[in-house]
Structure 1
Amino acid sequence: MRTPETPPLGSVVDFTTERALRRGEPVTRPAADPRTDPVAEVAGHLARLHDSGQPVVTVSWVNHHSALELLHAAPELLGRLTYLGVDGLFLRSLLGGGLVPRTSADLVLPELLGRLRAPRVAVVGGRPEDVASLRRAVAALLPADGEIVSVRDGYAGRPAPEDMDVWLARTRPTVVLAGLGAPLQEQFVLDVARYLPQGLVLTCGGFLDQVQQAGYYPAWAYPLKLNWLVRLAREPQRMWRRYSVEAVAALRARAALRAEVLGAAGFRRLRWYAWPEVDQRPAEATSS
């Protein structure tokens, strides 16, 4: 039983604030409660959306690498997502540091999947040879009444847009995880949402690789904020450019990144844990 002094999950959802957001009025963030955990808050909020049968919700997280990819290739995708979170200490620092909570897929998904009521999970991403191990790894995160209904690799196995409705009608997922890299994964979740009436459709980046390897991040990595160093050590050929050349590019493009990410309606919703029916604020109300 929850003790009275512990705030319930979702306690930072302020419906006065939500009404202000609908009307396009300026809002101020209430003082942060040190007892709240943004990862648990977001996981609890998304679980309630899933379990209460709300219309389909799309979620993605960006780091400096994926934000640059989206900025250059398809910035309009950021504005179409229900929720947009921030992953990566470097991008957080470019966007405002402590004012931007870190709620990345590798933190939220293990917390979220175990909370869901009877989830039917479809996974798209990874290599063809990893399908079996990926199925086992994700299944281990589900509650007893959860089910893996489909696992497709992110290459030839990925459902094509013209086949999306058939695949979804056959598998009937309530959760779809897409680990395809930006901007492909953002476009994919939006394509899924066109045919899925209810549920959660989430990007997950490198989570699908990490979840298959027990202890991918050692216990000291998160407290010391050295996850990036662990990834660089584990995948140097893939990661060296991200933490050097692309980091410099993101620093130079920080004004554009701030405008696109902080200006996205999905970022505001996730920061406030607002329900998805909150309307986008008019452009003139968000300018400063």
Structure 2
Amino acid sequence: MNLVREQIPVLGVDATPLTVGELIDVLAAFIDDGTTRTVVGHNLHSVTLTLSDSWFRELYERSDVVLLDGAPLLWLWGRGRKPRPESDASLMAYRLGSTDWIPALGTVPGLERIAVLGAGQQANDGAVARLKTLIPGAKVVGMPGEAWNTAKEDDAVAWLQAFRPQMVLVGLGMPLQEAVLQRTLEALPPAVYCTVGGAIEQLAGIQRLAPRWLGRMGLEWAWRLMLHPRRVAYRVFGEPWVLLALLLRRRLGLRR
């Protein structure tokens, strides 16, 4: 499949809009190829980091796939796309959070070794067990990511070098998971590295997913705010103003 980057109007960032089926085909090609690949996702938080941090922007620019993971980005892309998606339902097919495509990994031919990096011990164990049921016959191993530090990062690199996975789900939270990949990717064995945020806890059933109707309305932020007010409050109420300031500064700079 020819992967095409498309610009998101207003925000000035690029993404690789794919449906679940299209992504599975891409992952199958990556697994067959056997080289190092990265799959990341764009939401308003990642857009803010892309516009403010050069290292983060560099990782996204060199990633093989940048999924649309966020209703505002999806809507802006849909409005600017030619031809536009036929309906809201067809547009929503391009919004891919990690828990939208991970359950389909069992249909990726040749996927036999998966590493799960991140979350606490209980969540990591639960996600590993769930993946074993989703991908029968695959060897799935995990390493928790709590209390992350330099020593643990070195241990993770050595662990992955020994296991030689085909796919690694990196769920350390944004932007730590991206920083770890940026620092260590050259030392890591060839595999498809996917940043998945809180999906490890969600796969394990520890963190509840928002109802799908909330996702279709772009209100998942309200669900996360209700469940984790301290963790999410700044991203909901503070970060949008930071993003607005970055966009204004970028626009004024372009005009000059």
Q: Report the TM-score when normalising by structure 2.
A: 0.72
Are positions 1:200 and 2:192 aligned together?
Answer: yes
Q: Which residue of 2 aligns with 1:155?
A: 147
Are positions 1:78 and 2:71 aligned together?
Answer: no
Distance (whole Å) between structure 1 residues aligned to residue 147 and residue 109 of structure 2: 28
Deviations 1:174-193 (A, max 9, x none): 11111112332123234554
Deviations 1:126-185 (A, max 9, x none): 1244332232233333x2121212332243488745445532232221111111123321
Work out which of the residue numbers 38, 60, 70 in structure 2 matches 1:58: 38
C-alpha contact (below 8 Å) 1:154/1:179 kept by paired residues: no
Are positions 1:122 and 2:115 aligned together?
Answer: yes
Q: Which residue of 2 aligns with 1:166?
A: 158
SS at match of 1:244: helix
C-alpha contact (below 8 Å) 1:105/1:204 kept by paired residues: yes
1:46 alignment partner AA: L
Work out which of the residue numbers 129, 132, 156 in structure 1 matches 2:125: 132
Matches within 5 A, 1:19-38: 38=19
C-alpha contact (below 8 Å) 2:41/2:67 kept by paired residues: yes
Q: Which residue of 2 aligns with 1:31?
A: none
Are positions 1:144 and 2:136 aligned together?
Answer: yes
Q: Which residue of 1 aligns with 2:214?
A: 221
More helix by percentage: 2
Cα distance change of structure 1 residues 154 and 124 upon mapping to structure 2, 3 Å threshold: farther
SS at match of 1:241: helix
Higher-RCO chain (CA-CA 8 Å, sequence separation at least 6) = 1
5+ residue gaps in structure 2? Answer: 6-16, 82-90, 252-256
Distance (whole Å) between structure 2 residues aligned to residue 256 and residue 185 of structure 1: 27
C-alpha contact (below 8 Å) 2:116/2:142 kept by paired residues: yes
Distance (whole Å) between structure 2 residues aligned to residue 182 and residue 208 of structure 1: 13
C-alpha contact (below 8 Å) 1:70/1:183 kept by paired residues: no
1:235 alignment partner AA: H
Q: Residue 65 of structure 1: CA displacement?
A: 1.4
2:170 alignment partner AA: A
SS at match of 2:103: helix
Distance (whole Å) between structure 1 residues aligned to residue 171 and residue 195 of structure 2: 6
Percent of aligned positions that are identical: 27
C-alpha contact (below 8 Å) 2:115/2:165 kept by paired residues: yes
Are positions 1:248 and 2:230 aligned together?
Answer: no
5+ residue gaps in structure 1? Answer: 1-9, 19-35, 259-288
Cα distance change of structure 1 residues 193 and 251 upon mapping to structure 2, 3 Å threshold: same
Distance (whole Å) between structure 1 residues aligned to residue 151 and residue 163 of structure 2: 12
Distance (whole Å) between structure 1 residues aligned to residue 27 and residue 249 of structure 2: 29
Deviations 1:9-62 (A, max 9, x none): x5xx48xx89xxxxxxxxxxxxxxxxx972221222112221x13311111112
Q: Residue 244 of structure 1: CA displacement?
A: 1.8
Distance (whole Å) between structure 2 residues aligned to residue 252 and residue 205 of structure 1: 25
Distance (whole Å) between structure 2 residues aligned to residue 123 and residue 55 of structure 1: 19
Distance (whole Å) between structure 2 residues aligned to residue 125 and residue 150 of structure 1: 8
1:38 alignment partner AA: T
